Amino acid sequence: TGGHTTEILRLLSCLSESYSPRHYVLADSDKMSEAKIRSFEQKRAETFSESQFTLDRIPRSREVRQSWISSVVTTLHSILYSLPLTYKRKPDLILCNGPGTCVPVCISAFLLGLLRIKRTIIVYVESICRVETLSLSGKILYYFSDYFIVQWPDLKKKYPKSVYLGRIV
């Protein structure tokens, strides 16, 4: 929601029309992002007439200030919703940037790859706001992503698997 959506839409604005259809996954309680995405896609359709997208919702994996113990339960619940969705969509690429919703989707895609159902490339872009430490999503997805992009050199030093590209959003 909010800043994460703005950052991901900035990244998507740089992608060619070959990245279609796009499948957005939102937390079921997120109303603000849907409006931003629809506005973005409407503008994109003016340039790329064949542009296609879908919006899917899953239960929120973690609320702000939610306890760690209950977060495990709600994240598992979100993974159970994400598995059939990921199986149905069978994405080639997941591009995500940090909201908790991306964790169950990425874990679902990772599991489908382990089961040899569908191999999905996972690209995680840590938020520009994360200067010295990773977000919780980043700490988890550092181990599951194929490409882990950071926007600050100090993070590259701390996390050697990461790719530092400078500011990209």
In the chain the domains, ranked by start, together with CATH numbers, are 2-164 (3.40.50)
Backbone angles phi, psi at 18, to 5 degrees: -70, -15
pLDDT by position in tens, the chain (length 169):
568 899 999 999 999 889 999 999 999 988 899 999 999 999 999 988 888 999 999 998 877 777 878 888 889 999 999 999 999 999 999 999 977 889 999 999 999 999 999 999 999 999 888 988 999 899 999 999 999 999 999 999 999 999 999 888 7
> From CA 96, how far away is CA 106, in angstroms rounded?
9
Amino acid letter, 162: S
